[in-house]
Structure 1
C-alpha cells in the first residue's frame, strides 16, 4: 500500500502542498496533527479551512470535543483504518502533520507505551518527594529539560506519569515514548519534509502568531481557560495566554511566550524527523518552483511496484 507523508515544522507550507498533491495524484488527506482533532480549535491549530480544502476529502479533523482526550494510540488505530478505506477507493492517502510520534507510530509497526521498562523504587521516591516540595509544574519542567517528547504528551497534573517518565529516562537514557527497537514499515511510504532557513522559519512563525491573534485566537483560548486541566488546553498557542486572562501578565508578554514556545517546538519537530525517519527534504519557501521536483519524484515512486 502506497502512502505519502508530508512532515516538518509549523509554517512551512505543508497544508498548501498537500492539497496541490491531492489534486495532482487523486489523493485524500489525513491530518497527522495532535491538536486539529479538536472541534472549535481552528485558529490556534492553523486548521485547514473549507475554502482551502478545495473539495479534497480531509480526515481526522474535528473528531473530538475540546474536553476529550486523544492519544497517539487513538490516532494510530483510526488513521490505519482510514488509509485502508482510501486505498480501497482507488485514491492515494496523504498524511500531513508535524506531530512526529503520530506519523512514526502510523507508518511503522510498534507498540506504544512503557511495557517492559525497568523500575527503581528509590528513584521514584526521589521524584515523588521533589514533586511534594516543589509542585507539579516544577516536576514537569524537570521532565521537559531531559525528555521534551514525554513532557509534550504528559499533562503536568499527571504526577504519576511524569515521575514514571523521569524514572525511565534516568534508567535507560531514552524517552518512555520511544520504540525499543526499529520496527518494520507497514506501508510503501514516500516522506516529504518541508523546511527552510531557521531565520526565515522563525520569522514566519512569529508572523503566523500575530495573524492568529488578529483572527481571534484569544477567544478560542478564553474558552479553554475555563477548563485548564483538559488535554487540549496544553496546546501551544493556548496555555501561554492563560496568565493574561488571570491578570498575571500583559497580552504582549503572553503573545511573546506563544512565539517562543512555537519556535522551540519547531526545532523539536525538525530534530525528530531528521533523526528518526528517512525524509526527502525540500524548501518551498525559498524555492517554490521545487514543487515540480516533488511531483516528479512522487510520479517516479508511484511507478515503482510495491
Structure 2
C-alpha cells in the first residue's frame, strides 16, 4: 500500500505562506510627518502626539533651522515644547545658506539617533521642499511614513496670521529685528530671508530722520507687508501640499482645523481635541500598530471624527 505524503485538504488553509514570507522581510522603521501652511497648528499637534507617544521632533522649517530671531521666525518656546526633544531647531549659522541637501543629511542623522533610543521621529514644518527632498525613493525604502496635513480655510487663516503678527510686534519683534539689522544686507541668504526681516529695512533706514507721524506710518506699512507676505507664504505652501497629494500621489491624512480657529476659550480647546488632536492620534496609533491598513494607507478626511481624545499640551494656535 502506497503512503500518500500530500497535505490533507482540510489543513491547507492554515499554511500562511504569505505571512511567513513577510516576516522574513526587514521591517521598516516608522516616521510621522506633520505638514501644513504657516499658522495652522502643526507645532501644537506635534507636541500633543510626542507627549503621548514617546517621540522626538525634527524641525523641517527652513527658516527656524537658523539660530536667532526667535520672535520673527516664530520658533516654539522652551515652555511650549513641554520637555519634548527638538532637533534642527535654531542650529544653523544665521549668515549661512542651509540647503535642502543640508537638511536631508542632518535630518537623516537625527532620525537614526532618535530611532536608536526607540523613540518615534516626528518631522514637523511648513517647508515642503525640505520634506520632499528628504522623503525620496531611498527614504521610503527604509521608512514607513504617515503624513498628517493640518489645514485651515484660507480666509480664516489670513485673519489669524494678521492677529499673530500683531502679537509678535507686542512681544518685541521690531527691536529683535533692529538688533540684527545691517545696512545693505543680502536678504536672499540665510535667516535674512525670513518674513519680517526685509520688510523693516526701509523703516530702520529712515526712522532716525523722521518725525513721529511719518515714523508711525512707515512702521505700519512695514507691519502690513509682513502680514501680506505671511498670507502669501501660506497660500504657496498650500499649493505645494496640493501638488504633493494630487500630482505626486502622496497619501495625506487631512485634519481640518478651521472650526478651531473660529472659536475661543474652552470651545476652541474642545474643537482642537475633537477635530485635530484626537483624529490625528487615532491615525498615528493605527499606523504604528498596523491596526488598519486602509486608514494608514490612503488619503482621507478626518474632520468630524471623534476617537479617543488627547489633551492639548502646547500653546494654542488660536
1:281 is aligned to 2:254: yes
| 2:84 paired residue number | 56
| 1:215 paired residue number | 171
Per-residue CA distance 1:104-157 (angstroms, 9 max, x = gap): 1112148xxxxxxxxxxxxxxxxxxxxxxxxxxxxxxxxxxxxxxxxxxxxxxx
Residues 295/221 of structure 1: CA separation in 2 closer, same or farther (3 Å cut): same
Q: Please, what TM-score do these two structures have when normalized by structure 2? A: 0.70
1:107 is aligned to 2:66: no
1:75 is aligned to 2:103: yes
Flag as ranges the 4+ runs of structure 1 deviating above 2 A.
183-187
| 1:260 paired residue number | 228
Question: Does the 8 A contact of 1:39 with 1:66 survive in 2?
Answer: yes
Out of 289, 292, 306, the residue aligned to residue 303 of structure 1 is 289
Deviates more, 1:25-34 or 1:224-233: 224-233
| 1:170 paired residue number | none
Task: Please report the RMSD computed on the Cα atoms of aligned residues, expressed in angstroms.
Answer: 2.0
Residues 285/24 of structure 1: CA separation in 2 closer, same or farther (3 Å cut): farther
Per-residue CA distance 1:181-228 (angstroms, 9 max, x = gap): xx9665211111111121110011111111111111112222332162
What runs of 5+ residues in structure 2 fail to find an aligned partner? 1-28, 208-216, 245-249, 260-270, 294-318
1:247 is aligned to 2:247: no
Out of 143, 149, 156, the residue aligned to residue 200 of structure 1 is 156
**Length, aligned pairs only:** 234
Question: Does the 8 A contact of 1:107 with 1:186 survive in 2?
Answer: no
What secondary structure sits across from 1:252 in the alignment? helix
Q: Please, what TM-score do these two structures have when normalized by structure 1? A: 0.72
1:272 is aligned to 2:227: no
| 1:12 paired residue number | 40
Question: Does the 8 A contact of 1:273 with 1:279 survive in 2?
Answer: no
Quote the Cα distance in structure 2 between the aligned partners of 1:184 and 1:87: 16
| 1:92 paired residue number | 120
Quote the Cα distance in structure 2 between the aligned partners of 1:191 and 1:184: 13
| 2:74 paired residue number | 46
What secondary structure sits across from 1:51 in the alignment? helix
Quote the Cα distance in structure 1 between the aligned partners of 2:140 and 2:33: 17
